[in-house]
Amino acid sequence: MSKLNLTIATGNYDRTRPISDGRVNIEGVDPNHLFFSPEEMFYRAFRFKSFDVCELSFSSYCVGACDPDFPYIAIPVFLSRSFRHAAIFTRNDADIVRPSDLKGKTFGVTEYQLTANVWVRGILEDYYNVPQTDIHWIRGGLFDPKRPEKIKVKLPDGLDYREAPEGCTLNDLMEAGQIDGLIGPRPPKNFYQNPNYGRLFPDTFGAVAGYYRDTQIFPIMHVLGIKKELVNQYPWLPASLYKAFEEARKIALDAILDTSASKMTIPLIDEQIDFIHKELGPELWTYGFHNNCHVIDKFLEYHHTQCLSSRLLDAGELF
């Protein structure tokens, strides 16, 4: 029987390259595996449905999942996960030393519905008692003043959420001191060189360890989506894909743990591994539904209370 030809789009990660370079085969599939940046990949997937199998923003996927005609269904392969405590960038002259100091401050975001921003707002309110309505928000592109909010969103009542001045980027506003900080997966330009810039949590490792110890949550950023029509036609496909991506994940982890020669061009890998094993546990970045259900449920709670999903989704209907 001939193999199924599928176009697969993901980021270029250590956990996806074993599939792209042929070290891991997807049973029954002859893949055309393409690498993209998240922004381009998500744009093509949601706007044009360009791929058979695709890495998807978890937040955008949840927005789409409220529509029965949405073309994708996910499998519990979480290609991007991240603690976002380090994603809260501040100006050092804004008198912000603890989360409660964010109340009354003005912060920039590139998009309201961005998965990282959903997690950060939820964690600030749920864990640090800082409601998003206590912060003033400016939306704009980090470096491109024309970056739009890609998905039309309904904002919660009482939220002060405004567009950046025309022609201005969040980076411009941050540099000029017109905002007190910004939240997002990328830092402002010259973050490491500018003495006026810092993070809400300078000891990110300590903040993450405390949060994880209390919640057992390692936030999910991206899922793997398959076109529903393919699942209906080939019921074996989700299991075949899951098996391959799980094998690729294990290959990536084995390579990282072999520290005889670092696989990444960055020092102190051994020390980071020691910290993760001691504070977070040896099996942190896992795939699968049941062992991650509490993480999914918490995100769906945040997503709905932030008015991004029209109803409270059930985790079981997403996968």
End-to-end alpha carbon distance in the chain: 28
Asked whether residue 251 falls in the same domain as residue 303, the answer is yes
Residue 150: pLDDT band (50, 70, 90) is confident
* Tokens representing residue 48 in the block: 């044009």
Asked whether residue 227 falls in the same domain as residue 204, the answer is no
What is the tens place of the pLDDT at every residue in 63-108? Answer: 999 999 999 999 999 999 999 999 999 999 999 999 999 999 999 9
Q: Which of 160, 190, 215 is the last residue of a domain?
A: 215
pLDDT at 90: 98
Asked whether residue 309 falls in the same domain as residue 252, the answer is yes
pLDDT at 1: 67
Domain that holds residue 294: 4-82+219-317
Residue 134 corresponds to which amino acid?
A: D
Asked whether residue 145 falls in the same domain as residue 236, the answer is no
**Which position has the token pair 């804004």?**
94
Q: Which of 215, 231, 256 is the last residue of a domain?
A: 215
Choice among 208-212, 217-221, 258-262, 273-277 with the minimum mean pLDDT: 258-262
Q: Which CA distances in Å does 35 have to 39, 40, 84, 244?
A: 12, 10, 24, 17
Asked whether residue 135 falls in the same domain as residue 199, the answer is yes
Whether 245 contacts 223, CB under 8 Å: no
Round to whole Å and give the CA distance between 163 and 141: 10
For the entire predicted model, the pTM comes to 0.96
Asked whether residue 94 falls in the same domain as residue 199, the answer is yes
Question: Residue 57: pLDDT above 70?
Answer: yes
Asked whether residue 90 falls in the same domain as residue 209, the answer is yes
Tally of domains in the chain: 2
Question: Residue 298: pLDDT above 80?
Answer: yes
Q: Residue 75 is part of a domain; what is its CATH number?
A: 3.40.190.10
